[in-house]
A and B are shown apart, each in its own frame.
Chain A
Protein backbone atom coordinates (compact mmCIF):
# COMPACT_ATOMS: atom_id res chain seq x y z
CA UNK A 1 0.00 0.00 0.00
CA UNK A 2 1.35 3.44 -0.94
CA UNK A 3 2.08 5.73 1.96
CA UNK A 4 0.42 8.63 0.13
CA UNK A 5 -2.82 7.99 -1.72
CA UNK A 6 -4.66 10.51 -3.84
CA UNK A 7 -8.22 10.39 -5.10
CA UNK A 8 -9.57 10.55 -7.63
CA UNK A 9 -6.83 9.58 -10.10
CA UNK A 10 -8.64 11.39 -12.90
CA UNK A 11 -11.24 14.12 -12.72
CA UNK A 12 -13.19 15.87 -15.44
CA UNK A 13 -15.20 18.97 -14.58
CA UNK A 14 -17.14 21.69 -16.32
CA UNK A 15 -15.92 25.25 -16.12
CA UNK A 16 -17.22 26.92 -13.00
CA UNK A 17 -17.57 23.76 -10.92
CA UNK A 18 -16.20 23.38 -7.40
CA UNK A 19 -13.47 20.74 -7.33
CA UNK A 20 -12.04 18.68 -4.49
CA UNK A 21 -8.93 16.51 -4.65
CA UNK A 22 -8.12 14.31 -1.69
CA UNK A 23 -4.86 13.09 -0.18
CA UNK A 24 -4.54 10.47 2.55
CA UNK A 25 -1.28 9.39 4.12
CA UNK A 26 -0.27 6.69 6.55
CA UNK A 27 2.85 8.14 8.21
CA UNK A 28 3.41 10.86 10.77
CA UNK A 29 4.28 14.04 8.98
CA UNK A 30 5.73 17.46 9.65
CA UNK A 31 4.52 19.08 6.43
CA UNK A 32 2.37 18.43 3.38
CA UNK A 33 2.84 19.98 -0.05
CA UNK A 34 0.41 20.45 -2.90
CA UNK A 35 2.07 20.76 -6.30
CA UNK A 36 0.72 21.55 -9.76
CA UNK A 37 2.13 20.19 -13.01
CA UNK A 38 0.82 21.38 -16.37
CA UNK A 39 1.10 19.05 -19.39
CA UNK A 40 4.69 18.95 -20.59
CA UNK A 41 5.57 21.60 -18.07
CA UNK A 42 7.39 22.10 -14.86
CA UNK A 43 6.14 21.71 -11.32
CA UNK A 44 4.88 24.58 -9.22
CA UNK A 45 4.42 24.53 -5.47
CA UNK A 46 0.90 25.63 -4.55
CA UNK A 47 0.88 25.15 -0.79
CA UNK A 48 2.94 23.84 2.06
CA UNK A 49 1.00 23.29 5.26
CA UNK A 50 1.31 21.57 8.57
CA UNK A 51 -2.05 22.43 10.11
CA UNK A 52 -5.34 24.13 9.39
CA UNK A 53 -6.10 25.81 6.11
CA UNK A 54 -4.46 28.03 3.51
CA UNK A 55 -6.04 30.02 0.69
CA UNK A 56 -4.53 31.52 -2.41
CA UNK A 57 -6.92 33.03 -4.91
CA UNK A 58 -9.39 30.31 -5.95
CA UNK A 59 -7.38 27.55 -4.33
CA UNK A 60 -7.88 26.33 -0.77
CA UNK A 61 -5.89 23.62 0.99
CA UNK A 62 -6.89 22.01 4.26
CA UNK A 63 -5.26 19.41 6.43
CA UNK A 64 -6.52 17.26 9.30
CA UNK A 65 -3.49 15.86 11.10
CA UNK A 66 -5.51 13.51 13.32
CA UNK A 67 -7.25 11.93 10.34
CA UNK A 68 -4.09 12.03 8.17
CA UNK A 69 -5.98 13.68 5.36
CA UNK A 70 -5.68 16.78 3.23
CA UNK A 71 -7.90 18.29 0.56
CA UNK A 72 -7.26 20.72 -2.24
CA UNK A 73 -10.30 22.71 -3.36
CA UNK A 74 -10.63 24.79 -6.50
CA UNK A 75 -13.53 27.21 -6.62
CA UNK A 76 -15.01 28.46 -9.93
CA UNK A 77 -12.79 26.11 -11.93
CA UNK A 78 -11.38 27.26 -15.26
CA UNK A 79 -9.81 25.38 -18.21
CA UNK A 80 -6.42 26.79 -17.23
CA UNK A 81 -6.69 24.78 -13.99
CA UNK A 82 -6.29 21.62 -16.09
CA UNK A 83 -3.16 19.98 -14.75
CA UNK A 84 -1.89 17.16 -12.58
CA UNK A 85 -2.08 17.93 -8.87
CA UNK A 86 0.41 16.13 -6.67
CA UNK A 87 0.33 15.68 -2.92
CA UNK A 88 3.64 15.10 -1.10
CA UNK A 89 4.45 14.65 2.57
CA UNK A 90 7.57 15.12 4.67
CA UNK A 91 7.83 12.42 7.32
CA UNK A 92 7.97 13.63 10.89
CA UNK A 93 11.67 14.04 11.66
CA UNK A 94 12.52 13.83 7.98
CA UNK A 95 14.56 16.31 6.05
CA UNK A 96 13.30 19.01 3.71
CA UNK A 97 12.84 17.78 0.17
CA UNK A 98 12.92 14.14 1.27
CA UNK A 99 9.27 13.75 0.43
CA UNK A 100 6.89 10.90 -0.25
CA UNK A 101 4.84 11.75 -3.32
CA UNK A 102 1.39 10.67 -4.34
CA UNK A 103 0.87 9.56 -7.93
CA UNK A 104 -1.12 12.66 -8.77
CA UNK A 105 -4.66 13.57 -9.79
CA UNK A 106 -5.16 14.53 -13.41
CA UNK A 107 -7.75 17.31 -13.68
CA UNK A 108 -9.39 18.35 -16.91
CA UNK A 109 -11.72 21.34 -16.90
CA UNK A 110 -13.94 21.65 -19.97
CA UNK A 111 -15.20 25.03 -21.19
Chain B
Protein backbone atom coordinates (compact mmCIF):
# COMPACT_ATOMS: atom_id res chain seq x y z
CA UNK B 1 0.00 0.00 0.00
CA UNK B 2 1.12 3.54 -0.73
CA UNK B 3 2.06 5.56 2.31
CA UNK B 4 3.77 8.67 3.60
CA UNK B 5 6.34 8.32 6.37
CA UNK B 6 8.15 10.81 8.54
CA UNK B 7 11.33 10.45 10.53
CA UNK B 8 12.31 10.86 13.22
CA UNK B 9 9.01 10.66 15.08
CA UNK B 10 10.53 12.34 18.12
CA UNK B 11 13.62 14.50 18.42
CA UNK B 12 15.16 16.66 21.09
CA UNK B 13 17.83 19.12 20.05
CA UNK B 14 19.59 22.20 21.31
CA UNK B 15 19.20 25.81 20.24
CA UNK B 16 21.39 26.64 17.27
CA UNK B 17 21.75 23.12 15.91
CA UNK B 18 20.73 22.17 12.39
CA UNK B 19 17.89 19.67 12.23
CA UNK B 20 16.42 17.83 9.26
CA UNK B 21 13.05 16.12 9.31
CA UNK B 22 12.50 13.56 6.58
CA UNK B 23 9.32 12.95 4.62
CA UNK B 24 8.96 10.10 2.12
CA UNK B 25 5.86 9.23 0.13
CA UNK B 26 5.14 6.32 -2.18
CA UNK B 27 1.92 7.74 -3.67
CA UNK B 28 3.88 9.22 -6.58
CA UNK B 29 2.26 12.55 -5.74
CA UNK B 30 3.67 15.72 -7.23
CA UNK B 31 2.41 17.92 -4.39
CA UNK B 32 4.04 17.81 -0.97
CA UNK B 33 3.58 20.07 2.06
CA UNK B 34 5.04 20.71 5.49
CA UNK B 35 2.85 22.03 8.33
CA UNK B 36 3.46 22.73 11.97
CA UNK B 37 0.82 22.27 14.64
CA UNK B 38 0.83 24.31 17.82
CA UNK B 39 -1.73 24.71 20.59
CA UNK B 40 -3.78 27.82 19.99
CA UNK B 41 -2.70 28.12 16.35
CA UNK B 42 -3.82 24.92 14.71
CA UNK B 43 -2.00 23.79 11.60
CA UNK B 44 0.05 26.27 9.58
CA UNK B 45 1.81 25.81 6.25
CA UNK B 46 5.61 26.08 6.29
CA UNK B 47 6.73 25.15 2.76
CA UNK B 48 5.31 23.28 -0.19
CA UNK B 49 6.39 21.80 -3.50
CA UNK B 50 4.51 20.99 -6.70
CA UNK B 51 7.22 18.87 -8.22
CA UNK B 52 10.93 18.16 -8.53
CA UNK B 53 13.04 21.30 -8.12
CA UNK B 54 9.95 23.34 -7.16
CA UNK B 55 9.68 24.84 -3.67
CA UNK B 56 7.47 27.60 -2.27
CA UNK B 57 7.19 29.46 1.01
CA UNK B 58 4.12 29.13 3.16
CA UNK B 59 2.69 31.20 5.97
CA UNK B 60 5.47 30.49 8.52
CA UNK B 61 8.59 29.78 6.46
CA UNK B 62 11.18 31.87 8.35
CA UNK B 63 13.93 29.66 9.74
CA UNK B 64 12.99 26.66 7.56
CA UNK B 65 14.07 25.38 4.17
CA UNK B 66 13.12 22.49 1.90
CA UNK B 67 14.55 20.88 -1.20
CA UNK B 68 12.93 18.58 -3.75
CA UNK B 69 15.41 16.46 -5.66
CA UNK B 70 12.99 13.62 -6.44
CA UNK B 71 9.25 12.94 -6.36
CA UNK B 72 9.27 10.87 -3.18
CA UNK B 73 11.08 13.09 -0.69
CA UNK B 74 10.69 16.57 0.79
CA UNK B 75 13.08 17.03 3.72
CA UNK B 76 12.50 19.99 6.03
CA UNK B 77 15.62 21.66 7.45
CA UNK B 78 15.85 23.99 10.42
CA UNK B 79 19.15 25.77 9.78
CA UNK B 80 19.59 26.98 13.37
CA UNK B 81 16.91 25.59 15.66
CA UNK B 82 15.15 28.00 18.01
CA UNK B 83 12.90 27.27 20.99
CA UNK B 84 10.01 28.83 19.06
CA UNK B 85 10.32 25.93 16.61
CA UNK B 86 9.34 23.41 19.24
CA UNK B 87 6.25 21.92 17.63
CA UNK B 88 4.70 18.91 15.96
CA UNK B 89 5.49 18.81 12.26
CA UNK B 90 3.31 17.11 9.67
CA UNK B 91 4.17 16.27 6.12
CA UNK B 92 1.39 15.75 3.58
CA UNK B 93 1.03 14.95 -0.09
CA UNK B 94 -1.73 15.18 -2.66
CA UNK B 95 -2.34 14.21 -6.24
CA UNK B 96 -2.33 16.92 -8.85
CA UNK B 97 -6.01 16.52 -9.71
CA UNK B 98 -7.91 15.21 -6.70
CA UNK B 99 -6.53 17.53 -4.05
CA UNK B 100 -7.15 14.97 -1.30
CA UNK B 101 -4.44 15.23 1.33
CA UNK B 102 -2.55 12.30 2.85
CA UNK B 103 -0.67 13.04 6.05
CA UNK B 104 2.31 11.47 7.73
CA UNK B 105 2.22 10.48 11.41
CA UNK B 106 3.97 13.63 12.54
CA UNK B 107 7.37 14.47 14.03
CA UNK B 108 7.52 15.97 17.51
CA UNK B 109 10.50 18.32 17.80
CA UNK B 110 11.67 19.83 21.07
CA UNK B 111 14.31 22.56 20.98
CA UNK B 112 15.97 23.16 24.37
Contacts and interface: CB of A to CB of B under 8 A. Distances in A.
Interface of A: 31, 33, 35, 41-45, 48, 86, 88, 90, 95-99, 101-104
Interface stretch (B18-26, B41-49, B64-72, B79-87): B41-49
Interface of B is mostly: strand
Interface of B: 31, 33, 40-45, 48, 50, 56, 58, 90, 92, 94, 96, 98-106
Contacts of A96: 31, 94, 96, 99
Nearest to B101: A45
Contacts of A95: 48, 50, 56
A74 to B, nearest CB: 20
Given A42-B90, A95-B48, A97-B31, A33 B42 contact: no
Nearest to B48: A97
A97 B42 contact: no
B31 to A, nearest CB: 5
A86 B99 CA distance: 17
A42 B42 contact: no
A33 B105 contact: no
Contacts of A33: 101
Given A95-B48, A97-B94, A98-B58, A86 B43 contact: yes
A40 to B, nearest CB: 9
Contacts of B105: 41-42
B40 A103 contact: yes
